[in-house]
C-alpha cells in the first residue's frame, strides 16, 4: 500500500499496485520504488536486441474501452515504453496512479503510470512500461493531466528520464494562456533538474498541438512555439523530423536529448 511522509513523497510497494482514481492527494507528487536494483544499463528485450523500442499514441479518449487493444499493440510490436496522450481519465487529486495489467502472451506484467489530474476528459497522459524496465522505475511527477515525468535508474548512476507532454490546443481565453505558462514553467523546472548530469538522458514524447512549419517563422502566432524553442535551446534533437515520420508536421513531436 502507498504511504505518505512529511516531504510529500509517496512510497510504492510493488507487490500491491492497483489503479484507483478515487484516492485524494496532491496534484504533483514523486514516487519512490523501493525494489529498484540499480542494474547496469545493459537492458535487452526478450529477443536480445540492444535497443529500447519507444512510441507514442494519442488515443483520443475512451481509455477504458481501448486498453485491451492498446496492450495488444504494445506486446505485438514488442514495445518497451509506450506513451499515451488524451486518455480521458480525469480525477483530480489522485495518487494511486500505477495500474498493473497482465501480459497477454505470458505470465509477465505490464505497468501503466497515469496522470489523471486533469479537469476534463480532454486531458490525461500515461506511460506503459515493460516489467523489465519497471524495476528500474524510481520517481514520478505529474501536472494536471498534461505533463508526466518518470525517472529510471541504472548502474553506474545512469538516469533515463521519460517525459510525456500533452499541450493545450487553440487557447481562447486568458485562463488557457495562464495554463500554458504553468506547463512551460514546469517543463523548464524538470529540464533544469535533470540536465546537470552527463549521465542523465532524456526523451520527451508529446502531442505539442503545434504546426512545426511555424517554428522558423518568428512572426508565428502559435503560442506553443515557445515550448519548441525551449527544447531547442537545451539542444534536444527532433527524431520525428530527422526520420521524416510526420509528413504534415502538425501534431506529433518526439524529441531526444543526446
Q: How many CA atoms lie within 13 A of 203 on its CB side?
A: 19
pLDDT band at 149 (very low <50, low <70, confident <90, very high): very high
Least confident interval from 15-29, 176-190, 201-215: 15-29
Please tell me what DSSP assigns to residue 233: H
Torsion angles phi and psi, residue 190, rounded to 5: -65, -50
Instruction: Give the cell for residue 28.
Output: 504533483
- Residue 5 pLDDT greater than 60, yes or no: no
CB atoms within 10 A of CB 27: 16
pLDDT of residue 174: 53
- Tell me, what CATH number does 52's domain have? 3.60.10.10
- Residue 29 pLDDT greater than 50, yes or no: no
Q: Cβ(20)–Cβ(136) under 8 Å?
A: no
What distances in angstroms separate CA 21 from CA 5, 24, 89, 93, 96, one per listed residue?
Answer: 20, 8, 9, 9, 7
**Range of 152's domain?**
3-257
Starting at the earlier edge strand, list the strands of the sheet with 10-12: 3-4, 10-12, 31-33
Cis peptide before 90 (omega within 30 of 0): no
pTM for the full model?
0.74
pLDDT in tens, 69-113: 999 999 999 999 999 999 999 876 555 589 999 999 888 999 999
In the chain, the number of structural domains is 1
Instruction: Give the cell for residue 205.
Output: 514524447
Output the average pLDDT for the chain.
73
Amino acid at each position: 500500500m502507498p504511504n505518505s511522509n512529511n516531504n510529500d513523497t509517496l512510497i510504492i510497494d510493488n507487490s500491491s499496485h492497483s489503479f484507483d482514481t478515487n484516492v485524494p492527494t496532491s496534484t504533483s507528487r514523486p514516487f519512490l520504488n523501493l525494489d529498484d536494483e540499480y542494474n547496469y544499463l545493459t537492458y535487452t528485450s526478450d529477443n536480445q536486441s540492444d535497443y529500447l523500442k519507444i512510441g507514442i499514441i494519442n488515443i483520443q479518449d475512451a481509455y477504458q474501452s481501448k486498453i485491451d487493444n492498446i496492450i495488444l499493440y504494445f506486446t505485438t510490436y514488442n514495445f518497451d515504453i509506450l506513451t499515451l496522450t488524451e486518455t480521458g481519465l480525469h480525477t483530480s487529486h489522485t495518487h494511486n496512479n500505477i495500474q498493473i495489467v497482465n501480459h497477454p502472451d505470458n505470465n509477465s506484467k505490464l505497468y501503466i503510470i497515469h496522470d489523471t489530474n486533469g479537469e476534463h476528459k480532454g486531458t490525461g497522459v500515461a506511460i506503459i512500461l515493460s516489467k523489465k524496465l519497471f524495476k528500474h522505475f524510481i520517481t514520478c511527477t505529474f501536472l494536471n493531466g498534461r505533463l508526466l515525468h518518470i525517472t529510471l535508474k541504472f548502474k553506474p548512476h545512469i538516469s533515463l528520464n521519460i517525459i510525456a507532454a500533452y499541450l493545450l490546443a487553440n487557447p481562447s481565453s486568458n485562463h488557457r494562456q495562464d495554463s500554458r505558462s504553468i506547463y512551460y514553467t514546469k517543463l523548464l523546472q524538470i529540464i533544469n533538474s535533470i540536465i546537470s548530469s552527463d549521465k542523465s538522458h532524456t526523451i520527451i514524447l508529446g502531442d505539442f498541438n503545434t504546426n512545426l512549419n511555424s517554428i522558423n517563422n518568428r512572426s508565428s502566432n502559435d503560442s506553443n512555439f515557445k515550448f519548441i524553442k525551449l527544447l531547442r535551446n537545451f539542444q534536444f534533437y527532433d527524431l520525428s523530423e530527422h526520420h521524416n515520420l510526420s509528413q504534415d508536421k502538425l501534431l506529433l513531436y518526439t524529441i531526444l536529448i543526446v
